[in-house]
Structure 1
Amino acid sequence: MTDAATAANRSSGRNPISALPLRDLAGFTHRWVDAEGIRLHAVEGGQPTGPTVVLLAGFPQTWWAWRRAAPGLAKRFHVIAIDLPGQGHSDRPQGSYDTHTVASRIQAAVTALNVRKYWLVAHDIGAWVAFSLALKYEERLHGVALLDAGIPGISLPDAIPTDPDRAWKTWHFAFHLVPDLPETLLAGRERDYIDWFLKVKALSPNTFDSAEIDHYAAAVAAEGGLRASLSYYRDAAESARKNHDALGRQHLTVPVLGISSSHGSIPDMAASISPWADNTTGVVIPHSGHFIPDEQPAAVVDALTAFIAR
């Protein structure tokens, strides 16, 4: 890419998701970059000469999931939070949402932002993408941190538990796989659905205020966001197949930090990943549910800072 093209890609540009207002974070700038033919949205801030930390969020959130942790990271690092394809202010392409395809697009976006090597930090579905990206582009990473996520084909269970004490954490995987039915039931009721996820899966139901719930619901409802969100689940079997194919050739050698929480979905992220990664460490964040960056941002910043320092 030429310098002129790179500069154009890094300009604030036009918001392609017109139905979704932009939310600003002090010290960060909005970017849109070309990523294999689609436009991805990112916010960039922090120390331009510091180590780069790339942040990916999961369902049902956007880059805004990092609004509480990113300023703390920005004190020492160059921070980029990217909306996945179909998420937030990024394009909602037709076609595959398997995590290897998405990983290629995320890597293209990072390259367009002139970043050669970086630390990758990802939560939930973002961690699905990050694991596949590490398999495809390990040479571009210093390390990867994965927060509370079962990875397709790796640690995501094949069967959904039927015990009510556990089923509430994973029941939606099967629901999202059903063709057409989720769209029929959720269209126009996205806020009710997102409200349930954010309030029930956080340790405290007061973690998210009404404005935050409105924001995430609007992002899912806007211009194909619901279809795109469901597509990650519907393509999870292909993600698993490609993960297994890649792991048949090599294990991860890049440092991996597994971040779990006291009341999250995966009790020990490090243990769930360690059979496929040669250099894995773990930390458990206390007093947190699934949405660790929202619930305990200072602890997340401390864990990531220590990981990068090592």
Structure 2
Amino acid sequence: MNEPASAPGVPGNPVRDLPLPDLAGFTHRWVDADGVRLHAVEGGRPEGPAVVLLAGFPQTWWAWREVMPPLAARFHVIALDLPGQGHSERPDISYDTHTVAAHVHAAVEALGVSVYWLVAHDIGAWVAFSLALEQRSRLRGLALLDAGIPGITLPDAVPTDPQQAWKTWHFAFHLVPDLPETLLTGREREYVGWFLKAKTLASDTFDDADIEHYAASVAADGGLRASLAYYRDATESARRNHEALARQRLTVPVLGISSSHGSIPDMAASVRPWADHATGIVVPDAGHFIPDEQPDAVAAALTGFIAEDG
């Protein structure tokens, strides 16, 4: 990880005490997204199809670091930090996915992109699904990676079977008022490290520097509050998803990317009741964090998905 000691002098950076990793061939940018300052990492071919990448909990744009270079050979690549994530602002707003999606779309427009492909993992996929419902005329396609989307692919109840419960137990924990903050403040590294090691097929996928990076993001400037807010507002996200789906189905092409040892066995099947065109693949030898565990397979799947559109 090529990471300076700090980023206090970077213009526009709202999270100045958090180290800022660089990726060769890509540039950091900050944009005003309807009143929320969001961080983007941009590179690739400006004239190529635009591909926007969203990461989930407990990660940042850095989750896509090994997927971005191969995509950049053909596409205009933009990895965004969601509100409350990485080097984006941590505003005191609703974190329901329709509200967040509006800020994400505004950020993409502020970067000069009007039509794009949207690729998202985990909580990023929650936001991406809602964005696709509201901005379907602006999307060429939607790729969703291993995500329990509120009201869509998220089970109604947390399983009690220990063989399954460890995958989703945190949804209920994050909803409890105050207790997660009490238990996790000052122990972000231990908590983040558990997710990164327990939910990968190979527990050494993430090194100490990766864990430190993601833990520091969660700990910095309201990051823990914002991370929990996505879960605490999940009921509103589900309600607004169903409200939007009562008006129309998901009409953009959807690629569901699952993994051999992930949380959602078949993403495509999970979203197909709401989507007109959904196909899927299963990436072998991977757990929940598919872009980190099998980046070449993810890049190849996305390239093929976009190429199918001609």
CA shift at 1:253, angstroms?
1.0
Instruction: Identify the residue that residue 165 of structure 1 maps to in structure 2.
Output: 163
- The equivalences for 1:6-155 within 5 A come to 13-155=11-153
Secondary structure, in 3 states, of the residue corresponding to 1:15? coil
Secondary structure, in 3 states, of the residue corresponding to 2:12? coil
CA shift at 1:150, angstroms?
1.2
Q: TM-score, normalised by structure 2?
A: 0.96
Instruction: Identify the residue that residue 264 of structure 1 maps to in structure 2.
Output: 262
Secondary structure, in 3 states, of the residue corresponding to 1:39? strand
Q: Which runs of at least 4 in structure 1 moved beyond 3 Å after TM superposition?
A: none
Instruction: Identify the residue that residue 4 of structure 1 maps to in structure 2.
Output: none
CA distance in 1, matches of 2:295, 2:237: 29
CA distance in 2, matches of 1:189, 1:151: 27
CA shift at 1:38, angstroms?
1.2
**Structure 1 residue ranges without an equivalent (≥5):** 1-11
Letter in 2 for 1:112: A
Say how many residue pairs are matched: 299
CA shift at 1:14, angstroms?
3.0
User: Which of 232, 235, 240 is equivalent to 2:233?
Assistant: 235
CA shift at 1:64, angstroms?
0.2
Deviations 1:70-89 (CA, angstroms, capped at 9, x unpaired):
01110110000000000000
1:196 aligns with 2:194: yes
CA distance in 1, matches of 2:51, 2:153: 25
Letter in 2 for 1:82: L
Q: Root-mean-square deviation (CA), in Å?
A: 0.6
Letter in 2 for 1:121: V
CA shift at 1:95, angstroms?
2.0
CA distance in 2, matches of 1:132, 1:32: 23
CA distance in 2, matches of 1:52, 1:137: 15
**Structure 2 residue ranges without an equivalent (≥5):** 1-9
Q: Is the 8 A contact 1:13 1:31 kept in 2?
A: no
Deviations 1:42-96 (CA, angstroms, capped at 9, x unpaired):
0000011100000000000000000010011101100000000000000000020
Q: TM-score, normalised by structure 1?
A: 0.96
CA distance in 2, matches of 1:121, 1:14: 25
1:177 aligns with 2:171: no
Deviations 1:162-219 (CA, angstroms, capped at 9, x unpaired):
0000000000000000000000000000000000000000100000000000000000
